Structure 1
Amino acid sequence: MGFFSFLVPFVVLRLVLSRTTFAVVDSIRPSESMRDNTSLVSIEGSFELGFFSPGTSKNRYLGIWYKKIPVQTVIWVANRCEPINVSSGSLTINSTGNLVLSGQNKKVVWSTSSLKQARQPLVQLLDNGNLVLRDEKDENTENYLWESFNDPTDTIMPGMKFGWDLRSGLTRRLSTWKSFNDPCNGNFSFRIEFDERHHTYPELIIRKGSAKFHRLGPWNGISFSGIPYLMPNPVFDYRFVYNDDEVYYIYNLKNPVISRVVMHQTTTVLDRMVWMETKKIWEPFHTSIAVAVCDEYGYCGANSKCDIRTNPICHCLLGFEPKIKQNWNEMYWSEGCVRKSPLSCSDKEKDEFTRFSGLKVPDTQYTWVNKSMNLEECRAKCLSNCSCMAYTNLDISEKGSGCVVWFGDLFDIQGFQSGGQDLYIRMPASEIAPKLNYEKARTYLKVKVERAVMIIAILVGLAGGIILVSFYILTRRYFYGTSNFSKRYKSQDEELELPLFNLHTISTATNNFSENNKLGEGGFGPVYKGMLEGGQEIAVKRLSMCSVQGANEFKNEIKLIAKLQHRNLVKIFGYCIHREEKLLIYEYMSNKSLDYFIFDERQDKLLEWSTRFRIVCGIAKGLLYLHHDSRLRIVHRDLKASNVLLDEHMNPKISDFGLARTFGGDQIEGNTNKVVGTYGYMAPEYAFNGLFSIKSDVFSFGILMLEIVSGKKSRHIYDENNGLNLTGLAWTLMKEGKAFELIDDCLLRDPHESMEEALRCIHIGLLCVQRKPIDRPNMSSVILMLSGEKVLPRPKPPAYFTNTDLWEDHSPYATPLSCNTSITTVEAR
């Protein structure tokens, strides 16, 4: 007995040392196994294979993550949808040479299926993050029988082929995690799609379930048609391979940086993330792909173009007209367009082709591809088939080569400001400008020349006078623009009561509107940081020439904000109008906008409850001033997180008054045929019937308050079984006595008194988002409620309780078809 007592400690020590030694190796063989409390580490220590539990889950999964990064970042999961409930996982090589993952009671939860059996199988974790199965006796160490790179989860790693191996039929695709706590396949997937048998054009597709959600387009020799901004850069290089054996995208890093492409489960974007060692965080690179309105698949329907720069954003292609004109008048575009005149498809009256430039080419589901044809041969090929609707080059690099032709309707076309691709669309002869015969042409040109000579003579006569007048005006504007900005310019529009800056002054202040000075971009255009000669920091809103905010809205914002003086409203210093340019000059807000903090998993931790509550109260005071205390009663109509800016002390200031409306006297309600604003924040009576009032602002404030408390966006679904959005979730939790579960997790460390304030804010928020305007409190009552000086009544059910609730109690014709939604939001001023 004494001998065994003496021996046991040495046996235990030997086992511990053995396990420690095993944990740093990079491979296992048939006689070995890897259990839950051990791991494999790549030879240079870059990656680790082991068991982990994601988020707050207690389930165990086998995965690979970065070894040297303090934030555990998982790049691959074996048993995505087959979790192991207890720490009983074991990874081994079975008798057929395959890798097997077993759980409790040795139940197999995942395995590989290599058709070729190795003489001496070896499983190894490589330093690029690839887990491989190979034959140790094979001299070619890269002859893999199986590899994790061929079965990705939600991440594309450097050196990984993303796409098809046509010889084996293997396809590599991504799918999102179901949630932060569950790596099982989520609702979104990403793949290269094409049909080899029918010679279709391969392209990148994001699907939501089985439906197409976003199409990044086919490879055109330079980039993917739908992402023209994918350009050479100092971080990575890339290529697309399309031959008889393989179709895939691959990238490699140029510099010693850590980078990956990941598909997120909540934001439905593809992000290229780069590890910032100094900050110890992952940050998105500029080639990240976010899905905006025009990126939604088929947003404008067939035979149309979506262009975010125009208003409206959907247009029928030349030669086409809306299929249902009434729907297009109401800005409901999904049914698309049809031809005005039928194609002739005859030798007597031949069809022609019109070139459209700067496009994402249409969906390639019904295409034909030839790699050797030139563009003229491609045209002839399309013209010879009555079903062919359009054609273009397969490869637009250098002189262009190859041929792609489209059959049937043209679907999911998008216009770009730069980049994009040419597309030649078939038109009937009747839609092409008529050809003049020789005599008519000569007479036509003679008349045109005579008129041109006469016009030139008149213009020459006026030129001197115009130049003198222009010189005088420019000199006068330059003098006033470069002087102290507090001096008012006595222009024709005296009512604006603000200094007029000249374009040169603002261009100099913003370094010619440099991208480095760009703070963000909203629905009305980009915003730039600038500095005037005296050192005054400013924010310049440069109204997009294609913005939905026209001259009237621009002047409306100037006139309104010039008359407003309140600590919780953003200050305006002046404006500039130069030809098509329209600029607003604001005070610079160093802490960007509220949404930059509350909707970011890293930044929201910087907003403790006391700061959030101060922001809530500040917004409420700003609204009270607009509704009751200013010289004019003002309804903002677009109150949202991105329109609340934060100064250096995190004090909130309401901005963007381009959509605001004023009331006179005792008027409390207005009506409009043009509903503008942002879905998720609009009161139901405004969204459906165009009725706006101070109570519609109260509704927006209630939504915003719930977002501030919860850190959640109003339009997302938070209970898929019941379809509950943020208001529905808040209402349900309050009824169940669990309102505290809505509070942002990063606030739970705050003291009990703070939690009471947060619960009070949830209650007030639900009072503000009640369906009927008469039930909602006004802002003076809200401020009393926030201070605790007023008893809180029981709220009635909120509007927009679920997605389907959006349409309850409304006529089927009273849909918000005319609503102009804000597409992007300004991050800072």
Structure 2
Amino acid sequence: MRMIWVEKQEGWVNYHSADADHCDTYGLCGAYGTCTIFSDPVCRCLDKFVPMHPDDWNRADWSSGCVRNHPLNCSEDGFIKYSGVKLPDTRYSWFNETMTLDECKVVCLRNCSCMGYTNLDISNGGSGCLLWIGELVDLRQLSESGQDIYIRMADSEISFNDGSSRKKSVVLAIALPLLITAVLVVVVVCLVLRRQKKRAEKMLVEKERLDHNNNKDNRSQILREAFELPLFDLSTIMKATDNFSLENKIGTGGFGKVYKGVLEEGQEVAVKRLSETSRQGNDEFKNEVICIAELQHRNLVKLLGCCIEEEEKILVYEYMPNKSLDLFIFDQTRSTLLDWPKRFNIINGIARGLMYLHQDSRLRIIHRDLKASNVLLDIDMNPKISDFGMARSFGGNETGDNTSRVVGTYGYMSPEYAVDGIFSVKSDVFSFGVLVLEVVSGKKNRRFIHPEYNLNLIGHAWMLHREGRSLEIADPALVESGYTIELQRSIHVGLLCVQQSPEDRPNISSVVLMLTNESILPQPKPPGFFTERNIDDATGYSWSNHTPSSVNDVTITLLDAR
């Protein structure tokens, strides 16, 4: 699949009204809301969608948008065709000029965050592929003069015409892979259950022997050897968290809930309790134990032990009193507590923690979900990388892999991973680069939108760097503090880390050296996943002279679609 970067597509249909109207207001109707100029009200939800906040809609505030009647399920989703619309904002999209529409559908279907697709070029019957990541915003109903778009929907919402050949082909295209997957799942489950049964029988024999001898210490020793990790009794965890009281709850995630606890000797801990209904949690539990049970580094959160008793699966970590980095850098009040020396120490600490994971630990580990909320801060504001539920470990000279199930957080994910499922140590480097720019600016990459050119934080930093105005992206308070050289160098290193091609990004060991010495830095090439609208009008910002040429080059590019 050849993905390319362009300034503007020939044949792209650009809909503009000669006269300004309400529908020219960006995002007026929110996600999945359509604007029709002669309608009253002007905003309506797409068919099979309902207002997210009906009371707001009754007050003519449509900005909250619409939601599906039935939630998505990823593996059981399909698409419904909506015709006669102006295509939504393409700020988070990618395209391919050579794909057919059917190939476009397959690519979108395998990525759970892909919410819609259409032809890139509608001339001559249509060609190419354009995909959207995330919610669809800025739709407009144009009836016959509009374009078709296929929007992801739950299987229960999709209806087919009896006897239609299209129905048969679509059903076959979806059902066959699901059937194969189901067979494989059954086989794997049977093998796993068989192994678990044998292990359970062995453990039961040991338990009966130990209970007979009333020797609790020996039982703990055998379990420690089995799991290679210190084990806590459930009664100890219950006492430490006051029976998992609501007052001690400090967080919730896909794994389950996190509680603050105090052990009998007074040590404060964070207790991560697997939710009984979380399939994701089972995978995360095993992954965290496998990946970080033996890791020891000052910039990684320490796993103290676990509890596997009755139906409970619990992980016990050292407690971080200042919680996560995002609570500081994105908060106007708390951000004042992080001056530049503290922020620079955090940036360097995260880099050193990644270097340990990538090259100094027993196994090479790729985190896959490095972001501000997964960096915890200790009492002295030292950073510790946490949450290894999505991590992957490798041995030998392996440095990456690919997957059909893309996990992680958009805004931090590298282009090759988000689009093709290819991840490596360079994917973590991309995430680190985004994090550096966020720490310097105090802005979220995905939430930041340049008011004139609709650039995200990466794109804005790149534009300023090219004009020699890098410091304008930094928090003004940091610039005023006088650390301009370190600020500029950090921004430069961040841009080197978010370059579009993985081969162009530095290794994390090189990043550590770049941050701490005064050597001359190479000039960064254009980044991946920056956005820009109305490129022809953005004089001086032409990217065509820097177009990458590798096979899987891709960027999320904003086409002139509104």
Fold equivalence (TM over 0.5): yes
Residues 703 and 575 (structure 1), Cα distance of their counterparts in 2 relative to 1, 3 Å cut: same
Alignment partners' CA distance in 1, 2:485 and 2:554: 40
Distance 1:329 1:775 in 2: 28
How far apart, in 2, do the equivalents of 1:474 and 1:747 lie? Answer: 61
Matches within 5 A, 1:273-288: none
Any stretches of 5+ residues in structure 1 without a counterpart?
1-184, 194-201, 219-223, 227-246, 249-262, 269-290, 307-311, 337-410, 414-464, 817-829
Corresponding residue number in structure 2 for 1:215: 52
Query: What do residues 123-179 of structure 1 show as CA deviations (whole Å, max 9, x unaligned)?
Result: xxxxxxxxxxxxxxxxxxxxxxxxxxxxxxxxxxxxxxxxxxxxxxxxxxxxxxxxx
Distance 1:540 1:333 in 2: 34
- Give the Å deviation of 1:215: 1.1
Contact 2:528 2:554 (C-alpha < 8 Å) held by counterparts: no
Structure 1 partner of 2:174: none
Which among 412, 417, 421 is matched to residue 690 of structure 1? 421
1:543 and 2:309 aligned: no
The residue aligned with 1:494 is 225
Residues 315-464 of structure 1: pairs in structure 2 closer than 5 A:
330-331=111-112
Q: Write the distance in 1 (CA, Å) between the matches of 2:209 and 2:266.
A: 27
1:575 to 290, 306, 325: 306
1:519 counterpart SS class: strand
Report SS of the residue matched to 1:662.
strand
Question: Once the 2 structures are TM-superposed, how far is the Cα of residue 520 of structure 1 from its aligned partner?
Answer: 1.8
Equivalent residue number for residue 607 of structure 1:
338
Q: CA deviation at 1:765?
A: 0.3
Letter of the 1:215 counterpart? M
Structure 1 residue 712: Cα displacement: 0.6
Q: 1:598 pairs with 324, 329, 332, which one?
A: 329
Pick aligned residue for 1:778 from 507, 518, 529: 507
Q: Distance in 2 between matches of 1:206 and 1:538?
A: 50
Name 2:66's counterpart in structure 1.
297
Structure 2 match to 1:642 = 373
The DSSP-based 3-state class of the residue aligned with 1:498 is coil
* Contact 1:626–1:635, Cα closer than 8 Å, also in 2: yes
- Over 3 Å counting, the alpha-carbon distance change for 1:517 and 1:473 in structure 2 is farther
Partner SS, residue 704 of structure 1: helix
Task: State the identity %.
Answer: 51
Residue of 252, 257, 272 corresponding to 1:526:
257
> Quick check: 1:653 aligned with 2:419?
no
Deviation of 1:717 (Å): 3.7
1:663 pairs with 2:444: no
Amino acid at match of 2:520: V
Q: Which has the higher contact order (CA 8 A, sep 6+)?
A: 2
Matched, 1:629 2:360: yes
Q: Indicate yes or no: 2:320 matched with 1:589.
A: yes
Can you list the C-alpha shifts for 1:358-410, whole angstroms capped at 9, x where unaligned?
Answer: xxxxxxxxxxxxxxxxxxxxxxxxxxxxxxxxxxxxxxxxxxxxxxxxxxxxx
Unpaired segments ≥5 residues, structure 2: 1-24, 34-40, 82-104, 118-151, 155-200, 536-546, 557-562
Quote how far apart the aligned CAs of 1:667 are: 1.8
Aligned-pair RMSD on alpha carbons?
Answer: 4.4
Q: Give the conservation status (yes or no) of the 8 Å contact 1:488–1:497.
A: no
Q: Does the Cα contact within 8 Å between 2:448 and 2:457 map onto a contact in 1?
A: yes
Aligned amino acid, residue 728 of structure 1: G
Q: Cα gap change, 1:335/1:587 in structure 2, threshold over 3 Å: closer, same or farther?
A: same
How far 1:514 moved relative to its partner? 1.8
Cα distance change, pair 745–529 in 1 and its aligned pair in 2 (3 A): same
The answer for the alignment partner of 1:17 in structure 2 is none
State how far apart, in whole Å, the 2-side matches of 1:564 and 1:547 are: 26
Cα deviations across residues 688-718 of structure 1 (Å, max 9, x unaligned)? 1122111111111111000000001011242
1:260-301 CA-to-partner distances (Å, cap 9, x unmatched) read xxx9xxxx8xxxxxxxxxxxxxxxxxxxxxx8xxxx733xx5
- Give 1:648 shift: 0.2
2:188 is aligned to none
Once residues 474 and 724 of structure 1 are traced to their aligned partners in structure 2, the CA distance between those partners, rounded to angstroms, is 64
1:50-449 map, 5 Å: 215-217=52-54, 297-298=66-67, 301=68, 304-305=70-71, 312=73, 330-331=111-112
State whether residues 591 and 647 of structure 1, in contact with CA within 8 Å, keep that contact through their aligned partners in structure 2: yes
Aligned to 1:757: 486
The 8 Å contact of residues 571 and 587 in structure 1, kept in 2 or not, is answered as yes
Residues 511, 762 of structure 1: alpha-carbon distance in 2 compared, 3 angstrom cutoff: same
User: Is the contact between residue 255 and residue 281 of structure 2 (CA under 8 Å) also seen in structure 1?
Assistant: no
Count matched residues: 403
> What TM-score do you get using the length of structure 2 for normalisation?
0.62
Q: What residue in structure 1 maps to residue 18 of structure 2? A: none
Give the TM-score normalised by structure 1. Answer: 0.43
Q: How big is the shift at 1:213?
A: 9.6
The answer on whether the counterparts of 2:272 and 2:314 sit within 8 Å (CA) in structure 1 is: yes
Which residue of 1 is the match for residue 190 of structure 2?
none
The one-letter amino acid of 1:297's match is: C
Q: Aligned equivalents of 2:472 and 2:288: distance in 1?
A: 40
From the two aligned structures, give the one with the greater strand fraction.
1
> For 1:234-264, what per-residue CA distance to the aligned partner results, in whole angstroms no more than 9, with x for missing partners?
xxxxxxxxxxxxx99xxxxxxxxxxxxxx9x
- How far 1:332 moved relative to its partner? 6.2
